[in-house]
Amino acid sequence: MIKCPREILVVDDEKGMRDLLTKILTKEGYVVHTAADGETAIIMVRESLKDKIELVLLDIRLPGISGISALKQIKKIRKDLPVVIISAYATRLTAIETKILGAHKCLHKPFTINELREIIKKIVEKN
């Protein structure tokens, strides 16, 4: 369990996935914010949550701009902000591309809760 609340932004167009990740991460002690598209996520990182967010979980396939475009914009705003790509459609090439663009990790759906916990734990402890 995390002793002090850490804030995570979950960006996924599937409401069920946002709700599931919110439930899991809240139980782990995190404060969770959500966005259903890349544009909203960018605005949240740039404005309302600029100095609060410590991690972004970002889906690749989003309505409007893609997760890759959102990743680029988020990294322009906060280069140091860890981003974990989550996708059912990511290929090895996508994983390499997102890593080059600054993503910390590419997590393929479906993933286990333990995989997610371990990745987040490593990132939060490192920061």
Which tens digits make up the pLDDT trace of 22-61? 999 999 999 999 999 999 999 999 998 778 899 999 999 9
User: pTM here?
Assistant: 0.91
pLDDT category of residue 3 using cuts at 50, 70 and 90: very low
Give me the pLDDT at residue 51, please.
83
Topology (CATH level 3) of domain 7-126: Rossmann fold (3.40.50)
Helix axes 113-126, 15-27, angle to 10 degrees: 60
Per domain, the residue ranges of the chain are: 7-126
Four-residue CA torsion sign, 74, 10, 26, 104: negative
- What gap in Å lies between CA 8 and CA 5, rounded to an integer? 10
Give me the pLDDT at residue 104, please.
93
Mapped onto helix, strand or coil, the DSSP state of residue 42 is helix
Q: Is the pLDDT of residue 12 over 90?
A: yes
Peptide linkage before 82 cis (omega within 30 of 0): no
Q: Is the pLDDT of residue 91 over 80?
A: no
pLDDT category of residue 2 using cuts at 50, 70 and 90: very low
pLDDT category of residue 4 using cuts at 50, 70 and 90: low
Give me the pLDDT at residue 27, please.
94
- What gap in Å lies between CA 46 and CA 100, rounded to an integer? 22
